[in-house]
């Protein structure tokens, strides 16, 4: 794969960096009330935004837009039609609910934000401001400055979502998170080639794993809307509004921690066995150590080991079950019945860059009880082939890789399965498999939206509308 030069100074930093040293985060969802003032705000905000070269010492700031938000700041409907259908339709569209499995308590009519009803519905959310800070005090001071500017430009704060990153970097179920991340080709030359993915899988304007450019919003230079001179030309009379931008998925996922561990204990003979079953469902031990390399017990401490495969070490899933969360969300070198090298090539076409963080807040039903979960964020250049494919075809699909009725044990089970049909988790073994019946749903979707994460040049263009 030939390496393309990544234009880091035109790319908002969160695509290229996870901001791991920024322990406190506020995701602020905004509504535009005055398009002209919002554009003035954007022209000033761009001076604050962190790019791919930003050192991320004290604070970082990035911004993203919903389809409704682009219209609200003045983008013409003709130009909006150049964006992907998934982005324009949004996460709550009927077909998309089926793909993502958003039913029952996770249905968009029950969401706190981004759903189909209420004061924080999808139509009210226009802009996502992502604010990162080194600690709580820095975040508080920085937000005070940002909030004043937001009010001056007649932007309404629909809701603020808070996160605090722990030193152990564990998600609420108790397992170390964020260990299996693809690296963008050209940025990390020392990375294992199996984990290096073409930039066009995450950034518009670059070739993807198919060797072609992903679909990008291409707008005409004439008739002109806004200052198209700030955008790169892709052909005579055509401007690429997408280059160096990406599409962002944001879902607030409540995790029912007590329910998860109670299930593991009910189906185990001891505390140790319960811990082992929970780890089998995840595919890693709580320390982060992969079951493929450490099948018998958790080595403890903190493990960031990610250099492993299944083809030569665990083809049959005896160590790490085939239906475990990490194996089905990234099959690595075992993609259905393909050989290892071909499997890796196929898997790379369905990777995402995860940027999520855990949250903890008082329960809406009982302020004395803490609700915990993940603010799940990920980047992809194609919602359908990446995030939605993983969710629908790998996580929610009960017949994944020749299983029978095994949805993803962490995020794929239905709260109300078809009557007479059980949901199982299969632990492959020798000579016989263990089938854990009655899999429950351990997560509830509390909000979500699809965003366009623009380049600096695209933000300049939006400000000029």
* Interval 212-260: pLDDT, tens: 999 999 999 998 899 999 999 999 999 999 999 999 999 999 999 999 9
* Interval 26-57: pLDDT, tens: 999 999 999 999 999 999 999 999 999 988 88
Helix runs in 47-84, H state only: 67-72, 77-80
How confident is the model at residue 316, as a pLDDT? 94
Cα–Cα distance measured from residue 284 to residue 292, given in angstroms and rounded to the nearest whole number: 8
**Residue 179 gets which letter from DSSP?**
-
Cα–Cα distance measured from residue 25 to residue 244, given in angstroms and rounded to the nearest whole number: 24
Which letter, b or e, does each residue of 226-255 get, where b requires 16 or more Cβ atoms within 10 Å of its Cβ? Answer: bebebbbebeeeebbbbbbbbbbbbbbbbb
Q: Which positions ≥6 away from 392 have C-beta within 8 Å? A: 99, 100, 101
pLDDT at 128 over 70: yes
Sign of the four-CA dihedral 316, 345, 330, 97:
negative
Report residue 314: phi and psi, to 5°. -160, 50
pLDDT at 1 over 60: no
- Domain spans of the chain, in order of start: 1-465
How confident is the model at residue 287, as a pLDDT? 94
Average pLDDT over residues 316-343: 93
pLDDT at 180 over 90: no
* Interval 432-449: pLDDT, tens: 999 999 999 999 999 999
Enter the tokens of residue 347: 């898997």
How confident is the model at residue 111, as a pLDDT? 97
Enter the tokens of residue 266: 């009910």
How many angstroms from the chain centroid is the CA of residue 226? 31
Count of residues making up the chain: 465
Cα–Cα distance measured from residue 68 to residue 87, given in angstroms and rounded to the nearest whole number: 10
* Interval 63-80: pLDDT, tens: 999 999 999 999 999 999
Q: Which positions ≥6 away from 173 have C-beta within 8 Å? A: 255, 257, 260, 261, 278, 282, 410, 442
Average pLDDT over residues 282-303: 92
pTM over 0.85: yes
Cis status, amide bond into 431, omega within 30 of 0: yes
How confident is the model at residue 2, as a pLDDT? 58
% helix, strand, coil for the chain, step of 5: 30, 20, 50
Cα–Cα distance measured from residue 382 to residue 377, given in angstroms and rounded to the nearest whole number: 15
């Amino acid at each position: 794969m030939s390496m393309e030069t990544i234009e880091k100074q035109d790319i908002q930093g969160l695509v290229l960096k996870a901001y791991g040293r920024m322990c406190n985060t506020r995701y602020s969802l905004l509504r535009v009330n005055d398009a002209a003032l919002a554009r003035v705000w954007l022209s000033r905000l761009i001076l604050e935004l962190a790019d791919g070269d930003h050192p991320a010492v004290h604070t970082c700031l990035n911004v993203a837009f919903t389809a409704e938000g682009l219209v609200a700041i003045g983008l013409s409907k003709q130009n909006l039609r150049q964006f992907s259908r998934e982005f324009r339709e949004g996460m709550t569209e009927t077909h998309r609910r089926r793909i993502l499995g958003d039913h029952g308590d996770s249905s968009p009519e029950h969401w706190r934000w981004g759903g189909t009803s209420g004061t924080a519905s999808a139509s009210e959310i226009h802009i996502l401001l992502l604010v990162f800070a080194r600690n709580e005090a820095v975040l508080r001071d920085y937000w005070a400055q940002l909030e004043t500017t937001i009010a001056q430009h007649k932007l309404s704060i629909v809701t603020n979502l808070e996160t605090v990153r722990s030193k152990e970097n564990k998600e609420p179920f108790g397992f170390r998170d964020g260990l299996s991340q693809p690296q963008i080709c050209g940025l990390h030359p020392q990375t294992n080639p199996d984990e290096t993915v073409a930039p066009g899988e995450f950034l518009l304007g670059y070739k993807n794993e198919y060797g072609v450019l992903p679909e990008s919003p291409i707008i005409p230079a004439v008739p002109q809307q806004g200052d198209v001179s700030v955008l790169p030309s892709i052909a005579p009379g055509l401007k690429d509004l997408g280059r160096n931008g990406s599409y962002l998925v944001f879902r607030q996922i409540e995790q029912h921690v007590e329910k998860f561990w109670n299930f593991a204990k009910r189906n185990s003979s001891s505390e140790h066995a319960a811990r082992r079953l929970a780890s089998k469902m995840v595919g890693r031990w709580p320390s982060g150590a992969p079951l493929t390399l450490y099948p018998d017990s958790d080595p403890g401490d903190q493990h960031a080991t990610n250099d492993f495969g299944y083809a030569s070490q665990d083809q049959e899933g005896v160590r790490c079950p085939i239906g475990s969360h990490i194996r089905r969300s990234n099959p690595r070198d075992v993609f259905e019945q393909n050989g290892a090298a071909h499997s890796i090539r196929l898997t790379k076409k369905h990777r995402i860059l995860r940027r999520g963080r855990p949250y903890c807040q008082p329960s809406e039903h009982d302020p004395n009880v803490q609700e915990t979960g993940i603010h799940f964020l990920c980047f992809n250049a194609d919602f359908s082939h990446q995030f939605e494919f993983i969710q629908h075809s790998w996580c929610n699909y009960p017949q994944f890789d020749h299983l029978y009725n095994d949805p993803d044990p962490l995020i794929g089970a239905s709260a109300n399965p078809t009557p007479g049909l059980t949901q199982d988790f299969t632990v492959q073994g020798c000579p016989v498999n263990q089938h854990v019946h009655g899999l429950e749903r351990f997560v509830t979707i509390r909000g979500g939206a699809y965003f366009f994460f623009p380049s600096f040049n695209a933000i300049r263009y939006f400000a000029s509308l």
